[in-house]
Amino acid sequence: MAISEMTDKLGLQSLRNRTWYVQATCATQGTGLYEGLDWLSNELSKR
């Protein structure tokens, strides 16, 4: 599923005052997992 399709289906554009990020991942190959966790870690460290 494309990121734009996922974003639309989840209605993320309607979220106000929330930071969100969609990271393409593949659990079986492990791609994208570290990038997503890095983003989450950086966002949490800002608080």
Provide, rounded to the nearest whole percent, the portion of the chain with pLDDT above 90: 91
Q: Is the pTM for the entire model greater than 0.75?
A: no
CA gap 43, 6 in Å, rounded: 21
CA gap 14, 12 in Å, rounded: 5
Q: Please, which pLDDT band fits residue 27 given cuts at 50, 70 and 90?
A: confident
Q: Please, which pLDDT band fits residue 47 given cuts at 50, 70 and 90?
A: confident
Q: Please, which pLDDT band fits residue 7 given cuts at 50, 70 and 90?
A: very high
